[in-house]
Structure 1
Amino acid sequence: MRRQGTEPSRRFLVDLNTGILKEHVSEMDRRVSVYNYPSNYEFRQGTENSQATLVDIRSGHLLAPLSEMQRTPRLWNTECGEEIDGKCYYFNSNLLTFSEAETSCKTFSSLGHLASVTSSGLHVRLVELVTRAKGEGVLTWLGGIMRDAQFEWTDGSSWEYSDWMPGHPSTEKYEQSCMEMFRMGESWWTAADCDLKRASVCSYPVRAL
Structure 2
Amino acid sequence: MKAILLFVVLLVTVQSKIADHSLGNGKNTVQPIGNIIRQHLKFSKKLPALNETQSFTMMFEGIRYVYYSSPMNFYAAEAHCRRTHNRGHLTSIHSHAEQVQLLRMLNANKISASEVWIGGRRNIFSRSFYWTDGSKWNYSYWHRGSPAYYWWSRVCVITETKEPGYWHDIYCTHLRPFICEV
Bin of the TM-score, shorter chain as denominator length? 0.5 to 0.7
Partner of 1:196: 174
Give 2:91's match in structure 1, choosing from 111, 115, 122.
115
Q: Residues 196 and 185 of structure 1: is their aligned pair in 2 closer, same or farther, counting only changes over 3 Å?
A: farther
Residue identity in the other structure for 2:178: S
Cα root mean square deviation, aligned: 2.6
Partner of 1:101: 77
Question: 1:151-195: per-residue Cα shift (whole Å, max 9, x none)?
Answer: 000011111111100111002276210000118875100000000
Partner of 2:144: 166
Partner of 1:52: none
CA distance in 1, matches of 2:178, 2:104: 13
Give 1:58's match in structure 2, choosing from 30, 51, 67.
51
Identity %: 27
For structure 1, the residue ranges without an aligned partner over 5 or more in a row are: 1-56, 61-78, 205-209
Residue identity in the other structure for 2:172: C
Q: Residues 187 and 168 of structure 1: is their aligned pair in 2 closer, same or farther, counting only changes over 3 Å?
A: same
Residue identity in the other structure for 2:149: T
- 2:109 counterpart SS class: helix
Is residue 2:135 matched to residue 1:142? no
Asked if 2 retains the 8 angstrom alpha-carbon contact of 1:105 and 1:202, the reply is: yes
Q: Which has the higher contact order (CA 8 A, sep 6+)?
A: 2
Give 1:127's match in structure 2, choosing from 94, 103, 115.
103
Partner of 1:91: 67
Residue identity in the other structure for 2:97: G
Asked if 2 retains the 8 angstrom alpha-carbon contact of 1:178 and 1:193, the reply is: yes
Q: TM-score, normalised by structure 2?
A: 0.64
Q: TM-score, normalised by structure 1?
A: 0.56
Partner of 1:175: 153
Aligned length: 130
What are the residue-to-residue correspondences of 1:42-57 with 2, within 5 Å? Answer: none
Q: CA deviation at 1:139?
A: 1.2
Residue identity in the other structure for 1:171: Y
Residue identity in the other structure for 1:155: D
Q: CA deviation at 1:137?
A: 5.8
Question: 1:91-135: per-residue Cα shift (whole Å, max 9, x none)?
Answer: 111100000110111243221000000000000011112222334
> Is the helix fraction higher in 1 or 2?
2
Residue identity in the other structure for 2:157: M
CA distance in 1, matches of 2:155, 2:85: 25
For structure 2, the residue ranges without an aligned partner over 5 or more in a row are: 1-49
Residue identity in the other structure for 1:95: P
Q: Residues 158 and 83 of structure 1: is their aligned pair in 2 closer, same or farther, counting only changes over 3 Å?
A: same
CA distance in 2, matches of 1:185, 1:173: 29
Q: CA deviation at 1:149?
A: 2.6
